[in-house]
Amino acid sequence: MELKLSQIVEKLGGELRGDDLLIAGCAGLQEARAGDISFLAGAKHAGQARASLASALIVKDSEDDGFICSRIVTRDPLLYFARLAALFHPGKTAIPGIHPTAIIASNAVIHPDAQIEAGVIIGDRVRIGAATRIGAGSVIGDDVLIGEHCLLHPRVTIYHDCSVGDRVILHSGCVIGSDGFGNAWAGDHWEKIPQFGRAIIGNDVEIGANTTIDRGAASDTVVAEGCRIDNLVQIAHNVRLGRHTAIAAKSGVAGSTHIGDFCLIGGNVAISGHLQVADRVTVMGGSNVASDIREAGVYAGVTPAIPHSKWLRNAVHWRHLDDLAKKIRQLEKQIAALTEKGE
C-alpha cells in the first residue's frame, strides 16, 4: 500500500507542508527509512527527528521548527500516527467458516460471517455475532454472548453466562469469568462461596494476554466500554471499571472496588477491595491504593529504591514513629500551656 501525503491528509485531516511525497509505510523515528513517515511526540525528541531517515514527519504546529522534510501538521501527532498506522496495517478480517476440528454445541448460534478456528470448543446456547473471529484452541462456555467484529486470539477462555460486546479484542491466555476468590472460614477449613454473577465486557474493550477478569460473586463484574487492560492484570469479583479506563501490566484490583471513567492506572499498582475511585484519576505505577479516592487528580504512593544500608537505618526509625508522634503531641501541649501563661 502506498499513499501520497495529500491522500493521507484527505483521509485523516491535518495540513501538508512541503512536497507531496509518496509514502509506503510508517515507523518510529529511529527505525524509519526513505519512503516512511514518522512522528514527533514532543520537543525533547526533536534531535532524533532531524536525524531520522523518514521522508516525512507528523508534527505539532508549535514544534514544526527547522525541519526540511515534508510534514503533516496536526494537533496530536501520536493520535494521528495511530490512525495512519491503522490504514497501513488494517489487520486480518474474519474469513467466514468453521474449522472441521472445532467442537460446537448443536444449539449454538454462530453468524455465517464469523470465523471459528481449529480446536475451538463452543458450549450450549452460545451466540456469536457477525465478522467475529475465534482463535484456535479457545473455549467458550455455555450461554456466552459475543458481539460483532470481535477478535479472540488463540487460547482465550470465556466461562459460562458471560457477555462480550462488539469490537472487543481478547489476547491469548485471557480468561473471562473465572471464579472470584470467595471463601468462608468454617473454624478449621475453608468453604467455597459460590460465584454466580457474570463478567460483562463492554464494546470496544481490549484485554491483554494472561489477564483474568473474575465473575461476580452475586452481582456482576463489569468492564465498561472503551477500557484498555494490559497483560497480566487481575480484576477481582464485583469490580466495576468505568468507561475508557486504562490499566497497565501487573496491576491488581481487589473485589468490589469501583473505578470511575477515564482513569489511568499505572503498572504494578495494587488497589484494595471495596473502594471508590473517582472519574479521571491517575495512579502512578507501583502505588498502593488502600482508601477511597474521591477527587480527580494524580496520585502516587511509591517508596523509591534506596541503598540497603540506608533502608535498614530508616527501618529502625519507622518502628518508632508512633512513639515519636506521641512525644511531639506532648511537646505541643507543653508549649501551648507555656504560651497561655505567657512564659
Question: Taking a C-beta distance cutoff of 8 angstroms, is the pair 232, 215 a contact?
Answer: no
Catalytic residues: 237
pLDDT digits (tens, 9 = 90+) for 65-108: 889 999 999 999 999 999 999 999 988 889 999 999 999 999 99
Q: How far from the centroid of its chain's Cα atoms is residue 309's Cα?
A: 37
CA distances in angstroms from 219 to 180, 199, 222, listed in the order given? 12, 9, 9
Task: Specify the pLDDT at position 1.
Answer: 82
The secondary structure of the chain, three-state, reads CCEEHHHHHHHHCCEEECCCCEECEECCCCCCCCCEEEECCCHHHHHHHHHCCCCEEEECHHHCCCCCCEEEECCCHHHHHHHHHHHHCCCCCCCCEECCCCEECCCCEECCCCEECCCCEECCCCEECCCCEECCCCEECCCCEECCCCEECCCCEECCCCEECCCCEECCCCEEEECCCCEEECCCCEEECCCCCCEEECCCCEECCCCEEECCCCCCEEECCCCEECCCCEECCCCEECCCCEECCCCEECCCCEECCCCEECCCCEECCCCEECCCEEECCCCEECCCECCCEEECCCCCCCCHHHHHHHHHHHCCHHHHHHHHHHHHHHHHHHHHHCC
Residue whose C-alpha cell reads 491522500 in the numeric block: 7
Residue whose C-alpha cell reads 501487573 in the numeric block: 250
pLDDT digits (tens, 9 = 90+) for 156-210: 999 999 999 999 999 999 999 999 999 999 999 999 999 999 999 999 999 999 9
- The span from the CA of 282 to the CA of 302, in Å, is 14
Q: Could you tell me the three cell numbers for 136?
A: 484456535
Which residue numbers in the chain have pLDDT < 50?
Answer: none
